[in-house]
Homo-oligomer: A and B are copies of this chain.
Amino acid sequence: MARQVTGSAEVAEKLAVAIHEHRLPPGTKLNEDEVGEIFGVSRTVVRAGLQQLAHEHLVDLKRNRGAFVAKPSVREAREVFEARSLLEPTTARSAALRAGKADIAKLRAHVEAEHAALAEGDDGRALHLSGTFHTEIARIAKQDTIAEFITQLVSRSSLIIALYWERRAALCESHAHDALIRALESGDADEAEAVMKSHLLDLYTSLDLRDAPSQPRTLKEALTG
């Protein structure tokens, strides 16, 4: 508690990571006083952070009711992946044309860390790393504007996975990311685009877009864990 955080951006970031790592399940109430106490800031700062997350569709702000971790609908889930399918393949293509040795190394380290997290059973962290991998691609493509959209879509995808994905065992155990790195390394733009496209399709078809379970926990437990 009282981790003494400066500024609303940091609050938003910490909450976003917790959401992305499934430590804060969809539907969780985010009490302003409680969050403020945990981070050692006043409600003013917390509110600003929550508003930022609301803009990113990570939390739902209900008037006079409070903030809740968002629960994307089936419709929204489809739209998110539709948007990703428009943005990411072309971005992967661009990245293939620009990726340097340093970029490739960074991506490899990224996948490395993801596998390590999986190995030690930290599924949440693995999922988060798996997501930021996509953001990294956009960064390599030197498209900050698109990268920001993708970052948001990836976060929302994490919520969608929390709600609609049952077979977590296969959590990105697919070697799509490895294949993507190889395509980027060899500068094969067509291949990179194709791999990304099929990777996204894989993700999408592995969703069970029918029901919406959820298992809430206490806020403090999730955040300090």
Contacts and interface: CB of A to CB of B under 8 A. Distances in A.
Interface stretch (A77-85, A112-120, A161-169, A216-224): A77-85
B82 A143 contact: yes
Contacts of A48: 47-48, 51
B145 A82 contact: yes
A209 interface: no
Contacts of A52: 51, 55
Q: Indicate the member of A76, A87, A143, A145 with the most B CB atoms within 10 Å.
A: A145
A83 B51 contact: no
Size class of the contact patch on chain A: 20 to 34
Contacts of A83: 87, 143, 145-146, 149
A149 B148 CA distance: 11
A47 B52 CA distance: 12
A83 B139 CA distance: 14
Given A51-B51, A79-B144, A79-B146, 14 more contacts: A48-B48, A48-B51, A52-B55, A55-B56, A79-B145, A82-B143, A82-B145, A82-B146, A83-B87, A83-B143, A83-B149, A86-B87, A86-B90, A87-B87
Interface in A35-78: 47-48, 51-52, 55-56, 76
A196 to B, nearest CB: 13
A45 to B, nearest CB: 12
Interface of A: 47-48, 51-52, 55-56, 76, 79-80, 82-83, 86-87, 90, 143-146, 149, 153
Count of identical protomers in the assembly: 2
Contact of A55 (B55, B144, B149): B55
Contact of A145 (B80, B143, B146): B80
A86 B55 contact: no
A47 B86 CA distance: 34
A10 B146 CA distance: 27
A145 B86 contact: no
13 contacts: A51-B51, A51-B52, A52-B55, A55-B55, A55-B56, A79-B143, A79-B145, A79-B146, A83-B143, A83-B145, A86-B86, A87-B87, A149-B149
